Amino acid sequence: MKKNLLTLCLALALGVTTPLAALATSTISPANVSIAPTISTATLQQLPWQPLVPPATQEVKLTANSPQISQGNIEGAVAAFALPADRGSMEITLSSLVSDNQLFSPSVLVLDEQMRPAAYYPASYFTYEKAGIMVNDRLQGVMKLTPALGQKQIYLLVYTTREDLAKSTTLLAPAKAYAMGVGNAVPDIPDPIAKHTPTGDLKIKVTAEQGMGNIMIGLIQSAPASAPVVVGNTAQPAPVAAPAPTKAAEPMLSETENYFNQAIKDAVKAGDVDKALKLLNEAEHLGSTSARKTFIGSVKGKG
As a whole-number percent, the residues of the chain with pLDDT over 70 amount to 78
pTM of the model: 0.68
More confidently predicted of 239 and 74: 74
More confidently predicted of 118 and 236: 118
Write down the domain spans for the chain: 43-208, 254-301
Quote the pLDDT of residue 89.
93
More confidently predicted of 2 and 124: 124
Per DSSP, the residues of the chain read: -HHHHHHHHHHHHHHHHS-SSPPPPP---TT-GGGSPP--HHHHHHS-PEE--SSEEEEEEE-TTS-EEEETTEEEE-EEEEEESSS--EEEEEEEE-BTTEE---EEEEE-TT--EEEEE-GGGSEEE---SS--SEEEEEEEEEEPTT-SEEEEEEE-BHHHHT-EEEPPPHHHHHHHHHTPPPP--PPPEEEE-S-EEEEEEEEE--SS-PEEES---SS-SSPPPP-S--PPPPP-PPPPP-PPPPPPPHHHHHHHHHHHHHHHHTT-HHHHHHHHHHHHHTT-SSHHHHHHHHHTT--
pLDDT of 190-238, one tens digit each? 999 999 999 999 999 999 876 556 677 776 544 444 333 333 333 444 4
Question: Out of 3.40.50.10610, 1.10.150.120, 3.20.10.10, 2.60.120.380, which CATH number does the structure's domain 43-208 have?
Answer: 2.60.120.380
